[in-house]
Structures are given as structure tokens and as C-alpha cells.
Amino acid sequence: MVWGFEPASRFGPFRPDGDFVGYYEQLDANFDSMTPDEQEFYGNSKPAYRLHVCQCLLYEHGTMHGEKRLFRAVEENEWPREYRINRRYPRLGSFMQITGMLLVVDVALKELIEKLEPGIHQFRPIRMSYKPEELHPGEFFTMMIGAFLTSFDPQQSEEFKNIGGCYRSNYFNQINASKLAMKRLQFLNCHLWRERELKTPEFFVSDTLQDEIRKAGLLMPDMYRMKEVLNSAWAVPRANGFPER
């Protein structure tokens, strides 16, 4: 089965209110060390370089969006190192979205993901702090999802909208999740991914990973089971033997 979930829309354990420590200065130093040709690639703009790095941590490498620069692998000196939280939370989620929509997971979720999909996703340690000398208990990692699929089937789905070829659930909840069809053969043997065409929900996990998360008692955003189909409705055979379109 497929389970979908959305990042939190309000500050809390899944979206801690805060900002990076020293990250913008780190990226600016990277920019200053570039050759003139490399700086020209970013329009001689430090903000454009920062934005590009942030998007490379989120989106599928080899593709591009509005800025018209191909997303690429992230260099070691382009990962954030510390995130300063503005208020104390009794417990942070195992899956979080922070400034710039970057993803952070705790060590327990990281280990589950790597056990099921070794080498697919990238992780780097990040300090989660309240003050310079006070860290939130536990280990945390920035995560870059490495799997992007095209498994959404609009022909067998309901309750969604199409905006320029990108599909979104009208309102993602338990009822509407069951009306969004996902093609099993496209996500077979995948456990964590993003979709290229379906933008809401943003994240997808397999039945196996969802079960492991539940058994481990991890604190996660609400995950809803989605509809699973074997084949696209475009390929359903008709009586004359040709697909119905």
C-alpha cells in the first residue's frame, strides 16, 4: 500500500520555528571563492546561489524549474550545519521541515530508511540547538530524498485539481487520500519518494516503511492510505483488443 503525508503548516514539533546558524555566511564564502565564470552562472548574485543550493537539496537532480538552472549534486560545504530553534519543544518530530523547506529527520527514522533503501537518499548531520551551548537531545540529519516517481494516475482518481500539468489534492485528508490512485508497478520496491506530477501530498511511503515507523513509535505527521491500482485506465483492454483511450 501507499501512504501519503504533508508537512506541517504551523510551527510545532514537525516545523520548529527557527533559522540556520552561519549557513548564509557559509554559502557566501563559497560564492566568494568561485571563479568569475562560476559566479556568472548565478548572475553574479549571492542570493541566487543560495536559492539554487536550497532547491538542489529539495528537487530532482537533472531537472530545472523557474530559475532555469539544472539542479545538481550538493557539495559537502553546501549542507547546513546548525539550526537554532526559537522556543523549546518537549519533543521534536522524527520528520521535520525547517527554513527553506529543507527536511530534517532524527536518527531513528534515518536508520529505518537506510535499512530499507541503502544509498538512495542522502543524509548529513545537523545540530538542533536552543542556545550556542544547548542542543536538543538526540541526533538529527538533513535529508535529501533521492527517489522521484511518476506513479499518480489521474484517470482513476477523484478530488484533485490540475494546474499546468501538476496535480494537487483539493484537500488532503483520510477520505480524499483514498480517492488518489497510485500505479503499483511504478513504485514497486520503493519505500520513500516524491512524485514528479502529484504535488499534494508531498511525501510518500510504502506499507513496509509505514509499519516500521508505527512499530518504532516515531512521532510523524498524519499519514493517510492512498488508492492503489495495477494499471493505468488508459491501458484497459477493450473487446477489440486495443486499449481504451
CA distances from 4 to 56, 132, 207, 213 (A): 23, 36, 10, 14
Q: What is the pLDDT of residues 39-71, one digit of tens each?
A: 999 999 999 999 999 999 999 999 998 888 999
Cα–Cα dist 31/40, whole Å: 11
Please tell me the pTM assigned to this model.
0.90
Which pLDDT belongs to residue 232? 57
Q: What is the pLDDT of residues 158-178, one digit of tens each?
A: 988 888 778 999 889 999 999
Which pLDDT belongs to residue 217? 98
Which one-letter amino acid corresponds to residue 237?
A: P
Burial of 1 (0-12, 13-18, 19+ CB in 10 A): middle
| pLDDT < 50 regions, the chain | 234-245
Hey, how many other C-beta atoms are within 10 angstroms of the C-beta on 235?
12
Bridge partners of residue 131, in order along the sequence? 134
Which pLDDT belongs to residue 67? 82
Which pLDDT belongs to residue 234? 46
Which pLDDT belongs to residue 243? 35
Chain centroid, CA 83 distance in Å: 18
